[in-house]
Amino acid sequence: SHAHESEWVYSSTLSKKLFTPLGEYIHQIPSVSHPIEFFLFLCGYAFNPAVFLFWPILIHGLSYNKRLTPLSPSLSSSGNPLLETVTTTATTMTPFQKWQEDFLMFNGGLYVLSVLVTLAFTEIGKASFATTRPRPPTAEEGCDNNNKLVWRRRYGKLVASLKSKHSFPSGDCAQAMNLCMFVWKYVPVDRITLMGNDISIDWILFGIFLPGVAFARVFYLCHWVEDCIGGIMLSWVLQSSLMPVITQKIMIQLAP
């Protein structure tokens, strides 16, 4: 704990009084039930390079099947030129409206671009701050007084595979926030149906998935709480400033 707090990223009063104790508490959770840990595994492993292609394929499929017709070529205040829509039949669509609808077909590639931009800034941050990751407990620390193993992470090695050396900011949390904001801004899907009920996709992404990824990365001792907050804030800044500019430039270059 002392070595952790000596790194200036974690040296603020807020970190010492709140974030570090919270992170250590999550790190020290002995174990959870298998169904709960499987959910945490899915969240914690979601942005491992081994499953990278899943997300652009999913986004392409959602965009292809749910294409809508935008109102205007200009970016909206949220940086979203594709979701300001009107109901227009194929026979009344102008050539430019038809092109805007077809532009949704590029969403998979646009998402990949956002992933690469987020990755570049994340790696710059990691190299600049060069913070250390949490230390897993030793065999003795993971056992109780009767030498029985009580600290357990069933998917720990898998979740921690292919991770980089430094801790801040969390690349997985940055990518999770990037995905959530990208779907919110560029994918025309508002709700999904589960067991006969319509559920807001935003609620699933921002209310369940994003917190799940952050908690899982701390639970599996890949990160501190501050790393997850830093990764989320990094993607929020990029999706609020840089990515809208890039998207606009691409649309202008591809416009008929």
For 99-123, the DSSP string reads HHHHHGGGHHHHHHHHHHHHHHHHH
DSSP assigned state of 132: P
Burial class (CB in 10 A: 0-12, 13-18, 19+), 233: middle
Euclidean distance between CA atoms 3 and 168, whole angstroms: 15
92: pLDDT confidence band, cut at 50, 70 and 90? low
- Average pLDDT across the chain, whole number: 82
pLDDT of residue 96: 54
User: What confidence tens digit (pLDDT) does each residue in 134-154 have?
Assistant: 987 776 666 656 555 558 889
> With pLDDT > 90 as the criterion, what percentage of the chain qualifies?
46
pLDDT of residue 76: 40
Number of other CB atoms surrounding residue 141 within 10 Å: 10
User: What confidence tens digit (pLDDT) does each residue in 13-63 have?
Assistant: 999 899 999 999 999 898 899 999 999 999 999 999 999 999 999 888 887
Q: Please report the beta strands in the chain, taking only residues with DSSP state E, as ranges in sequence order.
A: 69-70, 85-86, 191-194, 197-200
pLDDT of residue 208: 95
pLDDT of residue 88: 44
102: pLDDT confidence band, cut at 50, 70 and 90? low
pLDDT of residue 62: 81
pLDDT of residue 196: 76
Burial class (CB in 10 A: 0-12, 13-18, 19+), 65: exposed
Residue 121: pLDDT above 90?
A: yes
DSSP assigned state of 15: I
pLDDT of residue 9: 87
Euclidean distance between CA atoms 236 and 107, whole angstroms: 19
User: What confidence tens digit (pLDDT) does each residue in 231-245 have?
Assistant: 999 999 999 999 999
pLDDT of residue 144: 57
Letter for the amino acid at 218?
V
- Under 8 Å CB-to-CB from 149, ≥6 apart: which residues? 142, 143
| Reported pTM | 0.83
User: What confidence tens digit (pLDDT) does each residue in 213-227 have?
Assistant: 999 999 999 999 999
Residue 126: pLDDT above 90?
A: yes
Residue 47 near residue 175 (C-beta atoms within 8 A): yes
- What would the mean pLDDT of 248-253 be, rounded to a whole number? 80
